[in-house]
């Protein structure tokens, strides 16, 4: 909430509460002294609103000067007792002067007659109202302090989460670059032209990913495009042995997810799946939106005779994806992987966020 708007609303509520107290005081004056309704309102309302302003400023600055978290009640109570008594005495003096002025305007028959019992009642009411104002200010200051502490805590959590996401994201780039440079090195001795093409594609891929920030999300369609760019790099080495398919269900392509969350899964599919098959295979990305959830599956062909490959999920790609989902979504995001005969699949489940939701 805007600070200026909050202050204006607080002042309006404060004056409204004092206006109601003024009406109550006018009713007491009318019932106790026999003054007419008009004279009672003329006496009580201006006097109460002036006291509201005086009490408000006085109690506010005293509450700031004597915070309860830093001062003991033994030090605070005498200050507020003296201030309340002083303010109430000034209020009674102002009331007597205002009553005298009202008598001059309205005449002796309709104006309020200020007596000692009435002044004593005003004195007691003035002290109580001052203390109530001080308590209200202390509550408001405590609420403000708690809100600032909550805001700082939230900012700290967001910064820590952002730092964790950045750290996890930086694990991907060196890992991918290391594998790509190894492939280029291997191609250099076999086909210098293909090695050059792969280098250019790699430069273009990193140029596109440099603008991605760890704390911002991208569309699933953009993630799939990044996966296609990556596979275009790998296809220089594998040729027709490497195929890629993707199917995005209705509404799935417009969902948001952490950047480069699919790339390590596709990279693992190439390295541990297609790369181990002489005849090659297909990498498939399927995404569907099911209500408030987005389900993504990355599936690839693998060697049926190598049953131990990637079943433990100990590779950096799978671990990284699991940690990034946990950091971004908590328990709402999950990743599971399984092997079925000659297929290895990784299933991601995360909230279906869209640009409209922020």
User: Do 147 and 214 belong to one domain?
Assistant: no
- Whether residue 174 is contained in a domain is answered as no
User: Do 123 and 228 belong to one domain?
Assistant: no
User: Do 209 and 62 belong to one domain?
Assistant: no
Strand order in the sheet with 334-340: 242-248, 281-290, 293-301, 343-351, 334-340
Question: Please, what's the b/e burial string for 159-192 (b: 16 or more CB within 10 A of its CB; e: otherwise)?
Answer: eeeeebbeebbebbeebbeeebeebbeebeeeee
Map residue 137 onto helix, strand or coil: helix
**How many structural domains are present in the chain?**
2
Q: Which of 244, 229, 238 is nearest to 187 (CA)?
A: 238
C-beta of residue 270 within 8 angstroms of C-beta of residue 233: no
User: Do 122 and 248 belong to one domain?
Assistant: no
CA–CA separation, 43 vs 110, rounded Å? 11
Which tokens is 144 given?
Answer: 């403000």
C-beta of residue 345 within 8 angstroms of C-beta of residue 298: yes
User: Do 214 and 346 belong to one domain?
Assistant: yes
Domain end, chosen from 125, 152, 179, is at 152
Stated pTM of the model: 0.54
C-beta of residue 215 within 8 angstroms of C-beta of residue 165: yes
- The total number of residues written for the chain in this structure: 358
Numbers of helices and strands, H then E, in the chain: 8, 8
pLDDT at 322: 87
Q: What are the pLDDT tens digits along the chain (358 aa)?
A: 444 555 677 778 877 888 888 888 878 777 766 667 777 788 788 888 888 888 888 888 888 888 887 778 788 888 889 998 998 899 888 888 888 887 777 666 556 667 788 788 888 888 988 888 888 888 888 888 888 888 888 787 777 766 665 665 565 556 667 767 887 888 788 888 888 888 888 888 777 776 666 557 889 998 998 888 888 888 877 888 999 999 999 999 999 998 888 988 998 898 888 888 888 899 999 999 998 999 999 999 988 776 554 444 446 678 878 888 887 888 899 999 998 878 999 999 999 998 744 4
- Whether residue 31 is contained in a domain is answered as yes
Q: Per-residue pLDDT tens for 157-189?
A: 777 766 665 665 565 556 667 767 887 888 788
pLDDT at 235: 84
pLDDT at 315: 61
As a three-state string, the secondary structure of 56-67 is HHHHHHHHHHCC
Distance (Å) of CA 264 to CA 162, 178, 291, 347:
20, 13, 27, 13
- Whether residue 212 is contained in a domain is answered as yes
Neighbouring-strand partners of residue 340? 343
- Whether residue 184 is contained in a domain is answered as no
- Whether residue 209 is contained in a domain is answered as yes
User: Do 13 and 146 belong to one domain?
Assistant: yes
Domain end, chosen from 132, 152, 172, is at 152
Q: Which of 257, 263, 279, 286 is nearest to 345 (CA)?
A: 286
User: Do 196 and 333 belong to one domain?
Assistant: yes
Per DSSP, which regions of the chain are E strands? 218-219, 242-248, 255-257, 281-290, 293-301, 334-340, 343-351, 353-354
User: Do 130 and 213 belong to one domain?
Assistant: no
User: Do 41 and 136 belong to one domain?
Assistant: yes
pLDDT at 213: 60
User: Do 325 and 233 belong to one domain?
Assistant: yes
CA–CA separation, 90 vs 225, rounded Å? 77
Q: Per-residue pLDDT tens for 243-281?
A: 999 999 999 999 999 888 898 899 889 888 888 888 889
Give the structural domain span for 220.
191-357
User: Do 204 and 91 belong to one domain?
Assistant: no
CA–CA separation, 298 vs 265, rounded Å? 7
User: Do 125 and 217 belong to one domain?
Assistant: no
Give the CATH number, domain containing residue 263.
3.30.565.10
Domain end, chosen from 101, 132, 152, is at 152
- Whether residue 58 is contained in a domain is answered as yes
- Whether residue 157 is contained in a domain is answered as no
* DSSP characters over 294-357: EEEEEEEE--TT-TTTTSS--SHHHHHHHHHHHHHHGGG-EEEEEEETTEEEEEEEEE-EEGGG
Kind plus residue range of the DSSP H or E element containing 20: helix 3-33
């Amino acid at each position: 909430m805007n600070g200026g708007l909050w202050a204006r609303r607080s002042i309006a509520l404060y004056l409204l509460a004092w206006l109601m107290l003024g009406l109550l005081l006018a009713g007491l004056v009318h019932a106790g002294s026999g003054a007419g309704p008009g004279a009672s309102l003329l006496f009580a309302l201006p006097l109460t609103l002036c006291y509201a302003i005086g009490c408000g400023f006085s109690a506010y600055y005293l509450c700031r000067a004597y915070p309860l978290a830093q001062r003991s009640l033994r030090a605070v109570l005498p200050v507020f007792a003296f201030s309340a008594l002083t303010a109430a005495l000034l209020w009674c003096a102002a009331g007597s002067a205002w009553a005298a002025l009202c008598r001059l305007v309205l005449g002796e028959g309709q104006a309020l007659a200020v007596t000692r019992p009435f002044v004593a009642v005003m004195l007691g009411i003035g002290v109580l109202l001052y203390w109530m104002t001080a308590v209200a200010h202390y509550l408001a200051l405590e609420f403000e302090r708690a809100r600032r502490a909550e805001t700082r805590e939230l900012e700290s959590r967001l910064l820590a989460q952002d730092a964790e996401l950045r750290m996890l994201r930086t694990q991907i780039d060196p890992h991918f670059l290391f594998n790509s440079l190894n492939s280029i090195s291997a191609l250099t001795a076999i086909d210098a032209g293909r090695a050059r093409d792969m280098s250019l594609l790699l430069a273009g891929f990193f140029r596109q990913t440099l603008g991605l920030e760890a704390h911002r999300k991208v569309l699933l369609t953009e993630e799939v495009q990044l996966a296609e760019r990556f596979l275009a790099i790998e296809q220089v080495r594998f040729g027709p042995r490497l195929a890629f398919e993707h199917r995005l269900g209705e509404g799935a392509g417009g969902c948001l997810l952490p950047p480069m969350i699919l790339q390590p899964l596709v990279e693992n599919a190439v390295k541990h799946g297609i790369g181990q098959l002489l005849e090659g295979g297909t990498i498939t990305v399927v995404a569907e939106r099911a209500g408030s959830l987005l389900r993504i599956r990355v599936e690839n062909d693998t060697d049926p005779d190598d049953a131990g490959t990637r079943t433990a999920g100990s590779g950096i790609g799978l671990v990284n994806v699991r940690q990034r989902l946990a950091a971004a979504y908590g328990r709402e995001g999950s990743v599971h992987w399984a092997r079925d005969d000659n297929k290895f699949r990784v299933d991601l489940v995360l909230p279906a966020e869209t640009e409209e939701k922020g």
